[in-house]
Amino acid sequence: MNAVLGQGSEAVPLARACHVLGLNRSTVYARQKRAANADPPRHSRKHSVQPRALRAQERATVIETLHSAPYRDQPPTEVYQRLLEQEQYLCSVSTMHRLLRGLRENGERQQQRPAQHHAVPRLLAKAPHDVWTWDITKLPLIRRGIYLSLYVVLDLFSRFVVAWMVSLKENSALSKQLMDEATARYGIEPGQLTLHQDRGSPMIAHGYLDLLRDLDVTCSHSRPRVSNDNPFSESQFKTQKYQPDYPGRFTDVSHARRWCERYFGWCNVEHHHSGLAGFTPQQVFTGCYHEVARQTQRALDARYEHHPERFVHGQPTVTMPPKTVAINPIAEAGEDSMIDTRVNFPTLTAAGYVK
């Protein structure tokens, strides 16, 4: 291009150069004109002097003020407001931050706790007593501001309530009593059980965790502020509190315990659970659902034999409960002052588990 513009010692005639390069002479003339009228190069912003910038003496005054005893432990916003109350204005808050940032003095004054990253709990139950999940809910009393604590331990595979307890208190001592008696009642072997819970204070207390370690029970916790990590216990509490006869408010501990006895008896033995393909938790927990399924299948076969036209999708078959139950599965896979601390268990009789 220098040759085309006629610069340097190796300049050639313009017509010949344009012919060789395939350029139009008018294009070259236009570029020469723009080059002649171009403004001189501007200074970069980095080296430019801002007319509104603080002078060196003013910057020194601001820094000295920020380092002074009354203000050295205060953030720039606080310093700015205090100076205004004294009818002083040195600079804006952003300028204070900028000056401190240049001195590497801007930021948190104390060491901050790093962001916490908790593993997603992934639990899989293939049989009863593989995984228990438990939680605590509040039962309000008639007296405003007074609540009972209902502890409920649920077998994940069968949704069978293996233990429950009502108390006026919520603490780790009751949690230890609940788990100690429950594991002894069902003969849980060391290393057999995984116990899942959220991160309430009774679930993360050192004494409670030490007990689980002694029992050789694997401990699993939900992530903070993630209620979906304990969905089966939360769902059980919703089923309970949406019962037609749920009182809403209890008169005392005895009233709450009597109602819970009736409810958990119904929940374990009579409630045909949608998550268990219509079987009851007691049937799945004890394994007798196989016999119940055979009886149900005989009833369906007899009905189909008499009226096959009513079954548009063909002969019906009994849907069995899932073989595995998972939490967060991988995508491809007077008396008012009483404290009732008794742990309650279903009782095994000839007819099965009942209250």
Overall average pLDDT of the 323-352 stretch? 63
Alpha carbon 30 to its chain's center:
66
Choice among 113-117, 128-132, 331-335 with the minimum mean pLDDT: 331-335
- Alpha carbon 52 to its chain centroid, in Å, reads 49
Is residue 71, in this structure, part of any structural domain at all? yes
pLDDT at site 338: 45
For the ranges 36-45, 121-130, 317-326, the lowest mean pLDDT is seen at 36-45
Segment 38-87, tens digit of pLDDT? 766 665 565 666 788 899 999 999 999 999 999 988 999 999 999 999 99
| 169 and 271 within one domain | yes
Residue 107 lies in a domain: no
Tell the residue number behind the tokens 């104390």, with chain if given: 110
Q: Considering the domain boundaries, does residue 151 fall inside one?
A: yes
Residue 122 has pLDDT above 90, yes or no: yes
Q: What is the CATH number of the domain that holds 240?
A: 3.30.420.10
Whether 39 maps to a domain, the answer reads no
Count how many domains the chain has: 3
The answer to whether residue 298 sits within a structural domain is no
| pLDDT given at position 186 | 96
Residue 334: band (very low, low, confident or very high) from pLDDT cuts 50, 70, 90: very low
Please report which confidence band the pLDDT of residue 19 belongs to, taking 50, 70 and 90 as the band edges: confident
Whole-number mean pLDDT of the chain? 87
Lowest mean pLDDT among 105-109, 148-152, 232-236: 105-109
Domain with 27, as residue range(s), is 2-33
For residues 139 and 251, membership in a common domain is answered with yes
145 shares its domain with 191: yes
Query: Quick one: 79 and 170 in the same domain?
Result: no
- Tell me the CA distances in angstroms from 82 to 63, 64, 65, 105, one per residue in order: 16, 15, 12, 20
Distance of CA 224 to the CA centre of its chain: 5
Q: Identify whether residues 26 and 152 lie together within a single domain.
A: no
The answer on pLDDT for 30 being more than 90 is: no
pLDDT tens for each residue of 252-293: 999 999 999 999 999 999 999 999 999 999 999 999 999 999
Q: What percent of the chain has pLDDT over 90?
A: 70
* For residues 238-243, average pLDDT: 95
Look at residue 344 and tell me whether its pLDDT is greater than 90.
Answer: no
Q: Is the pLDDT of residue 105 over 70?
A: yes
pLDDT of residue 345: 63
Which residues have C-beta within 8 Å of that of residue 61, sequence separation ≥ 6? 90
Confidence label for 335 from pLDDT (cuts 50, 70 and 90)? very low
pLDDT given at position 114: 82
Q: Can you list the pairs that 204-211 forms with residues at least 24 positions away whose Cβ atoms lie under 8 Å? A: 205/171, 205/172, 205/175, 207/172, 207/173, 207/176, 208/172, 208/175, 208/176, 208/179, 211/176, 211/179, 211/180
pLDDT for 340 beyond 90: no
% residues pLDDT > 70 (the chain): 87
**CA distance linking residue 91 with residue 80, whole number of Å:** 8
CA angle 203, 353, 270 (to 5 degrees): 95
Q: Tell whether 28 is covered by a domain.
A: yes
State whether 141 and 69 are in the same domain: no
Mean pLDDT throughout 177-192?
A: 95
Average pLDDT over residues 157-180: 95
Quote the radius of gyration of the chain (alpha carbons, Å).
39
Distance (Å, rounded) from C-alpha 2 to C-alpha 8?
Answer: 7
Confidence of residue 5 (pLDDT cuts 50, 70, 90): low
Angle formed at CA 36 by CA 34 and CA 37, multiple of 5 degrees: 65
What is the pLDDT, as a whole number, of residue 35? 79
pLDDT at 7: 55
- 3-class SS string, the chain: CHHHHCCCCCCCCHHHHHHHHCCCHHHHHHHHHHHHHCCCCCCCHHHCCCCCCCCHHHHHHHHHHHHCCCCCCCCHHHHHHHHHHCCCCCCCHHHHHHHHHHCCCCCCCCCCCCCCCCCCCCEEECCCCCEEEEEEEEEEECCCCCEEEEEEEEECCCCCEEEEEEECCCCHHHHHHHHHHHHHHCCCCCCCCEEEECCCHHHHCHHHHHHHHHHCCEEEECCCCCHHHCHHHHHHHHHHHCCCCCCCCECCHHHHHHHHHHHHHHHHHHCCCHHHCCCCHHHHHHCCHHHHHHHHHHHHHHHHHHCHHHCCCCCCCCCCCCCCEEECCCCCCCHHHCCCCCCECCEEECCEEEC
Q: What is the mean pLDDT of residues 199-207?
A: 93
Geometric angle at alpha carbon 22, from 19 and 25, rounded to 5°: 70
In this prediction, residue 41 carries a pLDDT of 61
